Amino acid sequence: MAKVLYTAEATVTGGRAEGHGVTTDGALDVQLRTPAEMGGDGGGTNPEQLFAVGYAACFEGAIGVAGRREKVEVGDVSIVSQVTLSPTEERGFGLGVRLDVTLPQVTDPEQAVRVVEAAHQVCPYSNATRGNIDVHLTANGREV
């Protein structure tokens, strides 16, 4: 069995429409609401927003690892993360992800793509979602 490095724990009550989520350490305490774009009242966060922030933050850490392995100074990384929710043909719902990565100190376009590709192999979110959802990546505006 793999060595566990960290376990996050949270409790959610009320679901996405009128819910509340809190981590056991109290560091994250959010009101969950259905977005207005989906017919809700808004006024809180939703699972897609939380996933977008979590994936981008995790991916940024993976870029640091990939940069060190490639011996590249990545600088102040910025990631614009989009998570889409769409109906499936099976009458369920599916997610899609787009991560637009900016590496301001990496001026070689091929090197930027290599770093983002390597990060995609390292990131736990990428590994968890690989083959399950569409993930679209760019590096300094270039398709990965």
**Domains of the chain listed by start with CATH number:** 1-45 (2.20.25.10), 47-143 (3.30.300.20)
What integer best gives the mean pLDDT of the chain?
96
Helix H segments across the chain?
15-18, 47-70, 109-122, 124-129
Give per-residue pLDDT as tens, 21-60: 999 999 999 999 999 999 999 999 999 999 999 999 999 9
Q: Is the pLDDT of residue 2 over 90?
A: no
Q: What mean pLDDT is predicted for residues 76-95?
A: 96
Q: Is the pLDDT of residue 97 over 80?
A: yes
- Rounded to whole angstroms, the Cα distance separating 52 from 119 reads 16
- Rounded to whole angstroms, the Cα distance separating 74 from 64 reads 7
Q: Whole-model pTM?
A: 0.94
pLDDT band at 98 (very low <50, low <70, confident <90, very high): very high
pLDDT for the residue 87: 94
